Amino acid sequence: MLQHPQVKGPGIGLLGISLGADICLSMASFLKNVAATVAINGSGTSGSRTIHYKQTSIPPLGHDLRRTRVTFSGILDIVDIRNDLIGGHENPSMIPIERAEGPILFIVGQDDHNWRSDFYAQTASHRLEAHGKAKPQVISYPGAGHYIEPPYFPMCPASLHKLPNKTVIWGGEFRAHSQAQVDAWKQILSFFSKHLGGTQDRVPPKL
Ligand X SMILES: *[C@@H]1O[C@H](CO)[C@@H](O)[C@H](O)[C@H]1NC(C)=O
Active site residues: 18, 112, 146
Q: 142-161: which residues touch ligand X (CB under 6 A)? A: 144-148
Q: Which of 29, 41, 91, 122 binds ligand X (CB under 6 A)?
A: 41
Q: Where are the beta strands (DSSP E) in the chain?
A: 12-17, 34-40, 51-53, 56-58, 69-70, 76-77, 104-109, 137-141, 158-161, 166-169
Question: What 3-state DSSP class applies to 51?
Answer: strand
Q: Which of 43, 121, 172, 192 binds ligand X (CB under 6 A)?
A: 172
- Interface size with ligand X, residues (CB under 6 A): 23
Supply angle C-alpha 21, 22, 23, rounded to 5: 90
Amino acid at position 7, single letter: V
Region of 8-16, 44-52, 65-73, 109-117 interacting with ligand X (CB under 6 A): 109-117
Closest to ligand X by CB, 40 vs 58, is: 40
Q: Which residues contact 72 (CB under 8 A, 6 or more apart)?
A: none
Q: Which chain residues interact with ligand X by CB under 6 A? A: 17, 40-41, 107-109, 111-114, 117, 144-148, 165, 170-172, 177, 180, 184
